[in-house]
Amino acid sequence: MRRWPLAFLFVVATVPLYAQAPAAAPQVQAVQGTSAKIWQGRNAEFEEFIRTAAFVKITDVPIGVTRPKRGYFAPGGLVESAAWKLLPPGRPNGYWESYRSEIAAYELDKVLGMDMVPPAVEKRVEGERGAAVLWVKPVRPWKEVEHLPKPEKWNRQAVRMKMFDNLIHNPDRNAGNLIVDDDWNLYLIDHSRAFITERKLPFTMVRVDAELWDKMLALDEPGLVTAVGTWIDRGSIRAMLRRRDAMKIVIDDLVKRVGPQAYVK
C-alpha cells in the first residue's frame, strides 16, 4: 500500500501563519451529512458489546501492513463488525507492534475528549487475545475526499491529529489509516506502533488547538497509569510525558513568535 507523507495529506491547512488567505478564494463550506460517531455518550455500552458478543464470521482485510481481519457479529446487534488485530507485543518486522497500543490510544482519546479514535477493547477469540476495534461506517478513505472542499472544523481536526500523534509517538500516520464520514469527522485508526519510548516528536506543529493542549498539560503519571496502565508500561507512560514536555517547548516558542495566529479555531 502506498504511503503518502503527512504534508501532502493536509494541504488544506497549509496557508502560512504569517499571511492571510486571498480574499478572492474564501473557504467553501461542505454540506453537513451524517456522523458515524454512533458510540458518543454510549462508550461503555459499545465496549461491552464488542468485548463479549461472539464473531459469527471473520474475513481477511486486503489492506494494511499489520494484516488485520474483520469480525462480524450476528445481525441485529449493536455493532455490525469490528477490526480484529492479534499483534502480540513484539518486533516481528523490526518495528514495535502491539494490539495493546490500539486500546491505549482509545482510552487516551477518552481522557482527552477527542472522540476521534473508535472504541477498542481486548477480546479473546478462539483462545487468542487481540484488539477488537469498532468498524466505523459509513466512511470514505482520504484519497476519495482530499480534493473536496473542507468545512472549517477540518483544520482543527488535522491539528489535533498531529498533537495526538506527537504525544503517543505514532509515526505511522498515512492516507491508509485516515477515514472521514459524511459530516467531515476525521477518524484515527491503526495505532499498533505507538507508545514507544522514543523522545523525538514525529511531526512538526505549526498550529495548536488550545482546548486539547490544556488537557494534555493536565496529564500526569498517576492519572495515566489509571487510564492506560493496563495496556502500556510505566516506561512508555513516562516517555509520553517527556514528549508532552518537548511539545510544550515547541508550542511556547510558536505562540511567542506568531501570537494568536498559532491557535486554530
What are the pLDDT digits (tens) for 139-162? 999 999 999 999 999 999 999 999
What pLDDT does 32 receive? 55
The answer to whether the beta carbons of residues 123 and 130 sit under 8 Å apart is yes
> CA of 174: how far to CAs of 7, 9, 144, 226, 227, in Å?
10, 8, 14, 30, 27
Could you identify the residue written with the cell 458515524?
Answer: 36
**Cα separation of 218 and 209, whole Å?**
15
Letter string b/e over residues 93-127, b meaning 16 or more CB atoms within 10 A of that residue's CB: eeebbbbbbbbbbbbbbebbebbbbbbbbbbeeee
| Beta carbons within 8 Å of 15's beta carbon, 6+ residues apart | 21
Where does residue 54 rank: exposed (0-12), middle (13-18), buried (19+ CB within 10 A)?
A: exposed
Provide the domain limits for residue 133.
Answer: 36-262
Strand order in the sheet with 128-134: 55-60, 69-73, 81-85, 128-134, 120-125
**Cα separation of 124 and 132, whole Å?**
9
28 lies in a domain? Answer: no
71 lies in a domain? Answer: yes
7 lies in a domain? Answer: no
Domains: count for the chain: 1
The answer to whether the beta carbons of residues 204 and 259 sit under 8 Å apart is no
9 lies in a domain? Answer: no
**Cα separation of 21 and 13, whole Å?**
11
What pLDDT does 136 receive? 96
2 lies in a domain? Answer: no
59 lies in a domain? Answer: yes
> CA of 90: how far to CAs of 53, 87, 101, 196, 235, in Å?
28, 8, 12, 11, 16
pTM of the model: 0.87
Q: Dig out the grid coordinates for 186 from the structure.
A: 476525521
30 lies in a domain? Answer: no
**How many C-beta atoms surround the C-beta of residue 262 within 10 A?**
19
Chain centre distance of CA 72:
23
20 lies in a domain? Answer: no
All residue ranges of the chain with pLDDT < 50 are 1-31
